[in-house]
Amino acid sequence: MPPYSIDKVQFRRVFCLACQMTENTDTFPGDRRLPLTGATNFRDLGWYPTAEFRRVKKGLVYRSDHLSRLTAEDQQILESLRFKLVCDLRTVREQQKAPDLLPVSDTMRLLSLPIEAQGFDPSTAIDRLRKGDDRWLSMDFFIELYRRYLDDFGPVWGKVISLAASSANLPLVFHCTGGKDRTGICAALLLKVLGVQEANIFFDYDQSNICNAERLQSIYAEFAALGVGPEKAAPYLQAPTELLVAMFDHLKKNYGTIEDYLTKKAGLQETTIIALREGLLQ
Residue type, 154: G
Closest by alpha carbon to 241, among 117, 158, 99, 146?
146
Model pTM score: 0.90
In whole angstroms, what separates CA 26 from the centre of its chain? 22
The residue that leads in pLDDT, 213 or 25, is 213
The answer, yes or no, to whether residue 17 has pLDDT greater than 50, is: no
Average pLDDT over residues 229-245: 97
pLDDT of residue 31: 65
CA 96 – CA 114 distance, rounded (Å): 12
User: In the predicted model, what is the mean pLDDT of the chain?
Assistant: 91
Nearest to 197, CA basis, from 44, 14, 46? 14
What are the extents of the domains in the chain? 8-280
pLDDT at residue number 247: 98
Q: Taking a C-beta distance cutoff of 8 angstroms, is the pair 147, 261 a contact? A: no
pLDDT (mean) for 116-128: 93
Considering only residues 28 and 7, tell me which one the structure prediction assigns the higher pLDDT. Answer: 7
Give the pLDDT score at 32: 87
Sheet holding 61-64, edge to edge: 43-44, 61-64, 172-175, 85-88, 109-112
Confidence of residue 118 (pLDDT cuts 50, 70, 90): confident
Q: How far apart are CA 178 and CA 209, in angstroms?
A: 10
Q: Domain 8-280 carries which CATH code?
A: 3.90.190.10
Burial-class residue 168 by CB neighbours within 10 Å (0-12, 13-18, 19+).
Answer: exposed
Rounded mean pLDDT, 101-114: 96
Q: What is the mean pLDDT of residues 39-45?
A: 97
